[in-house]
Amino acid sequence: MSVSDKRIYLASRSPRRRDLLKQIGLPYELLLLREDLRRGPDIDETPLPDESPGVYVLRMAQEKAAMAVRQIAYRRLPQKPVLAADTTVVFDGQIVGKPDDAEHAARILRALSGREHQVLTAVALALRDQVETQISVSSVWFREMSDADIRRYCSSGEPLDKAGAYGIQGRAGAFVTRITGSYSGIMGLPLAETVELLQKFDIAVW
C-alpha cells in the first residue's frame, strides 16, 4: 500500500491529535467541518439526561465522524476513512468540559487539586456506512496546587480550550504525580486504540 493509499482524513482542529498521528507516521488530510469559527459548534455537545460519561464521549466521536462523512459526500471529496475523536474529563462521576473563561478554569483546577480524575477519549473511524469505535479510559492524579500555581497557569491561556482546563503535554504536566492508562489518550488520541481501528480498515501504520 502506497503512502497516498494510506492517507486518511482527520476531522479535528486539535494540534495535539495532528502531532500524535505524525508520531506514528500516518499521513492525513485535515478535514475542517466548520470553516468559520464564529458560527458556533458543529454539533451540540450537551450531555443527554442520565447519559454516562463513557456513552457520552463515544456518542460525540460518532457524531463528529458522521458529520465528516456527510461533508465528504457533500463536497464530493475522494472517499477515504475519516478519523474523529472526543475527550472528556470526569471528576466525582461528573463530566468536566472546557472552561468558559480563566475564572472558570481556576475553579475546575481547584477541584482537581490533590485528587484523582479520569480522562476518557473515544475514537471513531468511518468510511461511508462503516463506523468503528474505541474508547480509552485513564486516571490522572494531581499534586496539591496553590492558588498562585493556578493563577500562573490560567494566565498562560493554556487551559481555555481544553477539557478539564489543562493539557498534560504542556505546563500542567508539572501538576501530575501519577497516571494509569494511556498518555496519548490523555492528550486526546490514544494511539494503541487508534492503530486497532486503522487495522480494521486495512491501513497499516508500519
> What is the per-residue DSSP string for 69-121?
HHHHHHHT-----EEEEEEEEEETTEEE---SSHHHHHHHHHHHTTSEEEEEE
Among residues 19, 86, 92, 161, the one annotated as catalytic is 86
Residue 202 annotated among the catalytic residues of the structure: no
What does DSSP assign to residue 175? Answer: G
Neighbours of 144 (CB within 10 A): 10
All residue ranges of the chain with pLDDT < 50 are 1-4, 36-37
pLDDT of the residue at 139: 98
pLDDT in tens, 55-93: 999 999 999 999 999 999 999 999 999 999 999 999 999
In the chain the beta strands, taken as DSSP E runs, fall at 8-10, 28-30, 82-91, 94-96, 116-127, 130-142, 176-180
How far is the first Cα of the chain from the last one, in angstroms, to the nearest whole number?
A: 11
Does the domain spanning 3-200 belong to CATH 3.40.720.10? Answer: no
pLDDT of the residue at 1: 39
pLDDT of the residue at 43: 82
Q: Could you give the C-alpha distances from 141 to 27, 112, 117, 118, 131, in angstroms and in order?
A: 34, 8, 7, 9, 33
Q: Where are the domains of the chain?
A: 3-200
Cell digits for 58?
463515544
